[in-house]
Amino acid sequence: MINILGIESSCDDTSAAVISDGYLLSNVTAGQAVHEAYGGVVPELASRAHQQNIIPVVHEALKRANVRKEDLSAIAFTRGPGLMGSLMVGTSFAKGLAQALDIPLIDVNHLQAHVLAHFVKEKYAESKQPTFPLLCLLVSGGNSQIILVKSYKEMQVIGQTIDDAAGEAFDKCAKVMGLPYPGGPVIDRLAKEGNPRAFKFSKPQIAGFDYSFSGLKTSFLYTLRDRLKENPHFIEENKNDLCAALQLTVVEILMDKLRRAAKELRIKEIAVAGGVSANSALREAFVQHAEKYGWNVFIPKFAFTTDNAAMIAQTGLFKYADGDFCEITEVPFARVGV
Ligand code: KG4
């Protein structure tokens, strides 16, 4: 029986998961509330919290899976991209444990793992698996990309943001409205009671499949600035409509390019991944596109939208089958290509 332990520590979630015989048996994540007071993740605090969380989280994941550490076949860990101090905690832990157990070590690219989360199989849960080639919209706090996935290891970024990521656009606009961090989920909630057509914000006009969200952010900011001059209570009185209109614009920008890419490449297997894939309007847009354009869509479970080790263990399983292991000398990387 092949037992893979996955370890994720790229940002502010410490997570460990066990996949046994191809099925996910546990996926334990400890978040870090410490950042809430700062309006964003504080890298130094994140790495300290990982250091505290990593042993209890791995212990709990093994316990829930009912797998002894001596029975592990390999350890997969997130090598990057992410915050260097955070990555170092998971990487060092994975190295130490793999060395002690004398089992292979598998390095995992966090972004590829988000895509491969769609291949996680759970017992007693229906899971339809995508087939290749597949288009994946990867949207998070740090990335907005359209990825052409030819196989589990052949992925080509065909479009990406030239400035802010979609999640960043949500978070920054939320901040100017005085909403707490991270703003994405708060906007999603407030938008449910709002009219998405109440305001109109500008959309970018850029060639190819690339995205841009900085113009939308500026357009949002200018609307607030102008309206606040007339009415100091403008934000408070229009919060729901502002959130709904902003959310609709982000979703339309994302779907316009994705639709174009799907049409040009003639692909109907379409997935969404990353933190922003939790957004209800984006999920709804995927369902509508499936009906209208005959897409076969893959929308992750909420537990797999945020950072999690299940996707790391799943990528590890693919690489294990290929004997694609890494050396103990491997070091984390903060950014792609670094
Ligand atoms: O993938 P992720 O957990 O980590 C980072 O890349 O940082 O994504 C976090 C991002 C944040 O920008 C957050 O505001 C956004 O995902 N997000 C959402 C929702 N849930 C999380 N954005 C819009 N609607 C949501 N429901």
154-184 pLDDT tens trace: 999 999 999 999 999 999 999 999 999 889 9
The burial class, CB within 10 Å (0-12 / 13-18 / 19+), for 38 is: exposed
326, two tokens: 């890494």
Four-residue CA torsion sign, 288, 304, 107, 73? negative
Distance 129 CA to ligand 1 centre (A): 24
Residues with CB under 6 A from ligand 1: 11, 140-142, 167, 170-171, 182-185, 188, 274-276, 278-279, 306-307
- From ligand 1's centre to the CA of 326, what distance in Å? 30
**Closest-lying ligand 1 atom to the alpha carbon of residue 139:** 1
Q: What is the mean pLDDT of the chain?
A: 96
CATH match of 134-302 with 3.50.50.60 = no
Is this structure's pTM higher than 0.85?
yes
Confidence of residue 338 (pLDDT cuts 50, 70, 90): very low
What pLDDT band is residue 152 in, cutting at 50, 70 and 90? Answer: very high
Residue 323 in this model has a pLDDT that exceeds 80: yes
* CATH 3.30.420.40 residue window(s) in the chain: 3-126+304-321, 134-302
Q: Ligand 1 pocket: which of 276, 301, 335 to mutate (most atoms <8 Å of CB)? A: 276
In the predicted model, what is the mean pLDDT of residues 12-41?
93
- Would the pLDDT of 277 be above 70? yes
pLDDT at position 311 over 80: yes
Average pLDDT over residues 25-43: 89
**Beta pairing partners, 159:** 146
Which amino acid type is present at position 249?
Answer: T
Q: What is the DSSP letter of 287?
A: H
Mean pLDDT to the nearest integer, 126-132:
89
Q: What is the distance between the alpha carbons of residues 155 and 133, in angstroms, rounded to a whole number?
A: 10
109-127 pLDDT, tens digit per residue, is 999 999 999 999 999 887 7
User: CA-to-CA distance for 170 and 182, rounded, in angstroms?
Assistant: 8
Please tell me the distance between residue 167's alpha carbon and the centre of ligand 1 in angstroms: 5
pLDDT tens per residue across span 283-305: 999 999 999 999 999 999 999 99
Q: Supply the pLDDT for residue 141.
A: 87
CA 139 vs CA 99, 158, 185, 213: distances in Å: 35, 14, 14, 12
Of all protein residues, the one whose alpha carbon is nearest to atom 8 of ligand 1 is: 275
Distance of CA 208 to the CA centre of its chain: 23
- Ligand 1 site-directed mutation target among 109, 143, 170, most atoms within 8 Å of CB: 170
List, in order, residues 6 or more apart from 307 with CB less than 8 Å away. 8, 10, 11, 12, 13, 15, 29, 110, 275
Q: What is the mean pLDDT of residues 240-254?
A: 98
Superfamily grouping for domain 3-126+304-321:
ATPase, nucleotide binding domain (3.30.420.40)
Q: Is the pLDDT of residue 92 over 70?
A: yes
Distance 275 CA to ligand 1 centre (A): 4
